[in-house]
């Protein structure tokens, strides 16, 4: 079956799960994982769905649609075709699916995942949904209340991955650091550090990567755990803004001063393997009421704490679905201001990224090989630097084989760009 995934790691996890179900086992059409995080994401998957169905040559062909757009309050959205009337005429060709396949459809043997794998690394959801109600967020309307997976289930799934030959697991979720809290606002209750310790003790997974982190969950226990060489020297932070005023308007759970304090603690981390920590971060630009001083506060955070990659999302009103509070806020940003601010944020990020790569030059790193073809190979280091045969001198002997982890020396070459460096703008 052909497939197309839009945006998040959660979609990657559930797509692989769906494509290894008995329900889709013998169906040779198209599976699409939709996304609602931004207007851009929505327009992309909608355009893809329409063009794909219009190109169907068989009358029996079907498009199986999953992801955020098909669900509402955990169940299938009963107003799906009201929200998207342009898909109404394709209704007979579309099969709406839940985000997560029902247990009866999931194949029992994990070994089959390897032969049908979509990715070199395994994505593992430990938590889903959120209770925070940020004023810019529409996914709360699809996912609703926060839930956590059981410890034993998580450990067993990782051990199954290891037995199938996997070297890297990416832990993900809607607000994964809220794992085992009663509510995602109760960030003092998080048991995520304890979970990481347990994974390191009870599994032999070689690489453990943590996806998006909410600032308010950062604590001493988590920072200590991040020193372990088996955990990526990389954090992806959900910051959204560096301005006190905008953070309050967004209904975030931290102030600018608290954000600065957390980032200062992160930058003090000294890992056991001495690998330099990379920090990626999400920001929403053009949020209603964002003045020059607010935007400069965000730029200050990026520069002061050396954010090595910026995912800058334009504010989306989500006008073709249930409204979000921020869409009704006054002082919406004008287009010419948007353009100027985007140039500033892109320039700041590129300078920091190039300096980070230069600082890592001539250092020993480890590469998980994701692609190989004859004498070429590529993949990512443990601090998320894109490596290939041109900028990575392997330590001998090294078997150049997909899924292998090899050591070598990184050489900074400015012309080499990240292979999957989406602009996000």
pLDDT tens for the chain, 425 residues: list them.
788 998 778 888 888 888 888 788 777 689 999 888 778 888 899 999 999 999 998 888 999 999 876 766 656 777 888 888 999 999 999 999 988 887 555 554 444 444 446 677 888 999 988 888 999 988 876 666 788 999 999 999 999 989 988 899 999 988 888 999 988 888 889 999 999 999 999 999 999 999 888 999 999 999 999 999 999 999 999 999 999 999 999 999 999 999 999 999 999 999 999 999 999 999 998 899 999 999 999 999 999 999 999 999 888 888 765 679 999 999 998 777 777 888 899 899 999 999 999 999 999 999 999 999 988 999 999 999 999 999 999 987 888 998 899 999 999 999 887 765 433 33
267 to each of 190, 263, 305, 353, 386, how far by Cα in Å? 22, 6, 7, 16, 22
Same domain, 333 and 218: yes
Phi and psi at 405, nearest 5°, equal: -110, 125
Same domain, 311 and 199: yes
Residue 305 lies in a domain: yes
Query: Any residues with CB less than 8 A from the CB of 51 and at least 6 apart, and which?
Result: none
Same domain, 247 and 135: yes
pLDDT value at residue 112: 45
Same domain, 263 and 348: yes
Same domain, 212 and 121: yes
Tell which residue, 89, 203, 101, has the closest CA to residue 151: 203
Task: Compute the distance between CA of residue 161 and CA of residue 69 in angstroms, rounded to an integer.
Answer: 29
Task: Compute the distance between CA of residue 154 and CA of residue 150 in angstroms, rounded to an integer.
Answer: 6
How do residues 101-129 score in pLDDT, each as one tens digit? 875 555 544 444 444 466 778 889 999 88
| Boundaries of domain holding 92 | 2-96
Residue 423 lies in a domain: no
Q: How many domains does the chain have?
A: 3
User: Do residues 239 and 259 lie in contact, with contact meaning Cβ atoms separated by under 8 Å?
Assistant: yes
Same domain, 129 and 226: yes
Residue 425 lies in a domain: no
> Given its phi and psi angles, is residue 422 left (phi above 0), alpha (psi -120 to 50 degrees) or beta?
beta
Same domain, 60 and 136: no
pLDDT value at residue 147: 86
Query: Any residues with CB less than 8 A from the CB of 171 and at least 6 apart, and which?
Result: 124, 126, 208, 209, 210, 211
Same domain, 306 and 402: no
User: Do residues 93 and 53 lie in contact, with contact meaning Cβ atoms separated by under 8 Å?
Assistant: yes
Same domain, 163 and 115: yes
Indicate the residue among 45, 61, 96 that finishes a domain: 96
CATH number at residue 282: 3.80.30.20
Indicate the residue among 75, 96, 117 that finishes a domain: 96
Same domain, 198 and 229: yes
Task: Compute the distance between CA of residue 353 and CA of residue 33 in angstroms, rounded to an integer.
Answer: 31
């Amino acid at each position: 079956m052909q497939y197309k995934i839009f945006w998040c790691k959660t979609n990657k996890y559930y797509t692989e799960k769906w494509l290894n179900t008995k329900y889709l086992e013998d169906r040779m059409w198209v599976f699409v994982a939709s996304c609602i995080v931004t207007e851009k994401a929505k327009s992309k998957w909608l355009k893809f769905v329409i063009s794909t169905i219009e190109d169907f040559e068989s009358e029996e062909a079907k498009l199986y649609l999953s992801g955020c757009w098909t669900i509402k309050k955990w169940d299938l959205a009963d107003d799906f075709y009201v929200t998207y009337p342009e898909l109404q005429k394709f209704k007979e060709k579309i099969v709406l699916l839940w985000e997560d396949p029902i247990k009866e459809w999931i194949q029992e043997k994990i070994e089959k995942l390897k032969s049908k794998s979509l990715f070199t690394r395994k994505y593992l959801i430990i938590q889903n949904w959120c209770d925070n109600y940020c004023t810019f967020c529409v996914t709360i309307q699809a996912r609703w209340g926060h839930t956590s997976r059981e410890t034993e289930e998580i450990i067993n799934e990782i051990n199954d991955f290891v037995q199938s030959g996997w070297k890297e697991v990416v832990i993900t979720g809607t607000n994964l650091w809220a794992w085992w809290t009663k509510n995602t606002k109760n960030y003092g209750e998080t048991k995520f550090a304890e979970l990481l310790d347990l994974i390191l003790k009870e599994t032999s997974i070689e690489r453990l990567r943590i996806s998006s982190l909410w600032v308010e969950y950062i604590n001493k226990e988590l920072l200590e755990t991040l020193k372990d060489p088996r955990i990526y020297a990389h954090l992806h932070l959900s910051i959204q803004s560096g301005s006190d005023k905008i953070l309050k308007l967004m209904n975030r759970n931290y102030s600018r001063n608290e954000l600065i304090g957390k980032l200062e603690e992160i930058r003090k981390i000294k890992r056991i393997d001495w690998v330099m920590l990379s920090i990626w971060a999400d920001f929403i630009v053009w949020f209603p009421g964002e003045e020059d001083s607010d935007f400069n506060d965000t730029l200050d955070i990026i520069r002061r704490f050396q954010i090595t990659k910026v995912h800058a999302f334009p504010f989306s009103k989500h006008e073709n679905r249930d409204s979000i509070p921020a869409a009704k806020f006054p002082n919406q940003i004008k287009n010419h201001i948007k353009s100027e601010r985007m140039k500033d944020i892109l320039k700041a990020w590129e300078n920091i990224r190039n300096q980070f790569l230069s600082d890592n030059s001539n250092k020993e790193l480890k590469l998980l090989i994701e692609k190989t073809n004859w004498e070429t190979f590529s993949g990512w280091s443990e601090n998320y630097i894109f490596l290939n045969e041109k900028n990575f001198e392997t330590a001998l002997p090294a078997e150049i084989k997909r899924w292998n982890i090899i050591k070598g020396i990184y050489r900074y070459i400015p012309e080499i760009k990240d292979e999957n460096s989406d602009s996000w703008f």
